[in-house]
Amino acid sequence: MTRLALSEIAKRLNLHTETFKRWIKQGKIPVTKSGNFGIFNEAELNKWAAQQRSSFRTAGPDEKEENCFVSCPLLSAVKEGGLFKNIEGRNKDDVIRSSVSRLSGIPNNLKSEIYEQIIKREKLSSTGIGKGVAVPHPRSPLKQGLSYPMITTCFPDKPIDFDSIDGKPVFVFFLILTPSIEVHLNLLSKLSFCLRDSTFINFLESGPGFEIFLDRIKTMERCME
């Protein structure tokens, strides 16, 4: 026999407290009430919950891991992705291929898929957003092989024609890989906020080192909040 607060059981069953109390009163759920507590047999309630739509979570509500991916997503994604300079290649496809091959922590077979996906997306319309910057990304979020979102900052050894909207050749591009649409949109919007700032573009043109670059991202992300 387990004894728990009524509101606690209701929460674990994903039920409204009022509904839960009424069900006890009407005898629709194998729980008996004793003051503000409910008494039940765990196995039996599990069985009941399985027959219903909801499931009974035995453990307490899983607290969301408090990590930097929640508090400052852009900084952690940029950190995860890394920064590469002097990417070789004569055209768009070449630089993308060589930057994808430099990605760390991703199996090789996935790399070729990522490359194809990115090229497919580029064919749809160029991700060159002007001012010499591009944000290439796969057409749809990666379903597997990626546990954290990553933004890889790449500087080609010479500016590349990217079919950008303003026709300017691209001197830096950010490769965005995310596990879900929400994260993708969030990162993209934050990144574009940074790129709207012309001082940031100038900063990028100076070809900063990774540490200085991260510091700049950190301050800019703080500004957004």
Partner 1 sequence: MKWFKFWRYPGKFDFYRSDDRLLLIQIGIVVGVLSGFASVGLTWSLSAMLDSFAPFRQLWWAFLIPALGLMLSSLFLEKIMNEGAGHGVTEVIYSVSKVGGLMRLRSCFSRLISSCLTIGSGGSAGPEAPVVMSGAAIGSNIARFFNLNERQRITLVGCGCAGAISAIFNAPLTGMIFSMEIILGEWSMVHIIPIAAASVAGAETCRFLEGNRIAFESSAFHITSYDMAACFGLALIAALASVMLTRMLRKMHHISVKIPVPFWLRAAIGGAIVGLIGFAVPDALGEGYHTIHAMIHGMYTAGLGVAAVACLTKIITTSLTLGWGGSGGVFAPCLVIGSFAGIAFQRLLLFAFPTVMWSGEGLFALLGMAGMMSGLLQAPLTGLFLIVEITGSYDVMVSLIIVSALSTAITHYFEPTSFYLKDLIDNGSLLRPGTDQRVLSDISIREVIETDCIAVLPDMLLKDFVEIVKKSARNFFPVEDQQTGRFLGIINLNKIRPYIFNTFLYDTVVVEEIMDSDPEVVFYDDELSDVLQEMDSKNYFSMPVISHARFIGMVSKATLLDKYRDELKAQTFHIV
Which residues form the interface with partner 1 (CB under 8 A)?
Answer: 1, 15-16, 18-19, 22-30, 32, 34, 39, 41, 44, 48, 51-54
Specify whether the backbone of 211 is left (phi greater than 0), alpha (psi in -120 to 50) or beta: alpha
- Name which of 27 and 60 has its Cβ closer to partner 1: 27
Minimal distance, residue 27 CB to partner 1, in Å: 3
Minimal distance, residue 18 CB to partner 1, in Å: 5
- Name which of 44 and 163 has its Cβ closer to partner 1: 44
- Name which of 38 and 81 has its Cβ closer to partner 1: 38
Q: Please tell me the distance from the alpha carbon of residue 85 to that of residue 80, in angstroms, as a whole number.
A: 16
Q: Please tell me the distance from the alpha carbon of residue 157 to that of residue 141, in angstroms, as a whole number.
A: 28
Minimal distance, residue 49 CB to partner 1, in Å: 11
User: SS3 for 81?
Assistant: helix
Task: Pick the catalytic residue from 137, 172, 175, 221.
Answer: 137
Q: Of 106, 169, 114, 160, nearest to 137 (Cα)?
A: 114
Minimal distance, residue 176 CB to partner 1, in Å: 21
Q: What is the dihedral of CA 71, 73, 76, 81, to 10 degrees?
A: 170
In Å, how far are 118, 184, 220 from 197, measured between CA atoms? 26, 21, 10
- Name which of 22 and 102 has its Cβ closer to partner 1: 22
Q: Of 205, 219, 198, 126, nearest to 159 (Cα)?
A: 205
Annotation says 184 is catalytic: no
Q: Give the active site residues.
A: 137
